[in-house]
Amino acid sequence: MQEIASLLLHWFDENKRSLPFRTHKTPYRVWVSEVMLQQTRVAAVLPYYERFMRQLPTVQALAACPPEKLEKLWEGLGYYSRARNLQKAAQIVVQQYDGELPASYEALRALPGVGDYTAGAVASLAFGLPCVAVDGNVLRVWSRLHADDSNVLVPATKRRMAAQIQAVQPAQRPGDFNEALMELGALICLPNGEPLCTQCPWHTLCLARKAGKQAQLPVKTPRRSRKALSYTVALVLRRGPHPACLLEKRPSTGLLAGLWQPILLEGELDLPAVYNALAARGIHGLSREAHPLDTARHVFTHLEWHMTGWCLWCEDGCSAPDGCVFAALEQLETQYAVPNAFKAYRQHAENLLFASCKTEADRL
Ligand code: ADE
């Protein structure tokens, strides 16, 4: 048992990556990093993390941040409720804890958006408390070490493995031990395909390796199939001296709440149906010129969107109906948070707006 911990910690000390939330560790920095790292890989998180910390360096700054700015800082990271909960929690920390995150697993766990994993990670990494932090990477590493073929998606498996990890966690370095498990999962004990077993500090102990089963573990029962929804994106662009793209705000609750998107119509619509649907939404003054856009797909946890699209044009005088805005290129880049689901359509809009700005400049 002790060997498990000492081999791992020794490997971690020699091989851990230098990451911004490791080199300058405060409870706030650890908390934000752990929330960003849920569902998102380290490489994808890093630029977001650095920018977030520059703009919102303290709990107080996060608590007071205008929601649109927060959405923009989170744009592209996905799972936007993480950002909203982070801010709600920051407001509670300011009001109830004088701006200092509480050094207690239970108090952390009671904050919005803080589950078992995040509470354990902050408690151990930032405060040195003897808690575990078990995410999907840790479950993979642990299942392989013990050649344990229990389904890791079942809560009872997670509880059992968490208890086993707790039992070998060294009292002097609980945070390092947790982070070392994550690091092993990120660098050596890789998902999908062959892990780098010859470089693993546990290569002589690992039961999955001994049995040649490392590629079959962890066991995860197949997900229920996701519901597929089809949509038509109507990318409405305004030409003339003020080129812009029409955006609508999503409802304030539910999936991607409050974020901005091109006009999104239910179902797979042909062009006449698109004109009708837009007229029904109070969008008039469109020219008859239109071109079809590529299809796109976006996968959420429980849903999958299948999108087709049309690009349409309106003249300079055209106004945006309630709940919509005409966003110029610069506003699209700096002001309105558009989720990644629309990445291809947004890129198309930006290219056309850029060309439109250039044509306008040449004309003048
Ligand atoms: N994944 C989640 N938290 C992490 C951390 N602190 N280090 C590496 N990978 C992580």
Beta-strand pair 260-266/303-314? unpaired
For 105, the enclosing helix (H) or strand (E) is helix 105-109
Shortest-distance atom of ligand 1 to CA 21:
6
> What is the C-alpha separation between 204 and 211, in angstroms, rounded?
12
pLDDT of residue 152: 96
> What is the C-alpha separation between 193 and 214, in angstroms, rounded?
9
CATH number at residue 321: 3.90.79.10
Residues 50, 15 within the same domain: yes
Residue carrying structure tokens 């642990």: 142
Residue 181 CA, ligand 1 centroid: distance in Å: 9
* Mutate which of 12, 25, 42 for ligand 1 pocket (most atoms within 8 A of beta carbon): 42
pLDDT of residue 315: 84
Residue 15 lies in a domain: yes
Q: What is the secondary structure of 265-321 as a DSSP string?
A: EES---HHHHHHHHHHTT---EEEEEEEEEEEEEE-SSEEEEEEEEEEEE-TT--PP
pLDDT digits (tens, 9 = 90+) for 202-226: 999 999 999 999 999 999 987 678 8
Contact present, 320 and 246 (Cβ < 8 Å): yes
Report the residue count for the chain: 364
pLDDT of residue 225: 82
Domain final residue pick, 193, 216, 239: 216
Domains held by the chain: number: 2
pLDDT of residue 327: 96
Whether the predicted model's global pTM rises above the 0.75 cut? yes
pLDDT of residue 222: 73
Residue 130 lies in a domain: yes
Residues 286, 356 within the same domain: yes
| pLDDT under 70: residue ranges of the chain | 1, 223
Residue 34 beta carbon below 6 angstroms from any ligand 1 atom: yes
Range of the domain at 212: 2-216
Residue 327 lies in a domain: yes
Residues 52, 132 within the same domain: yes
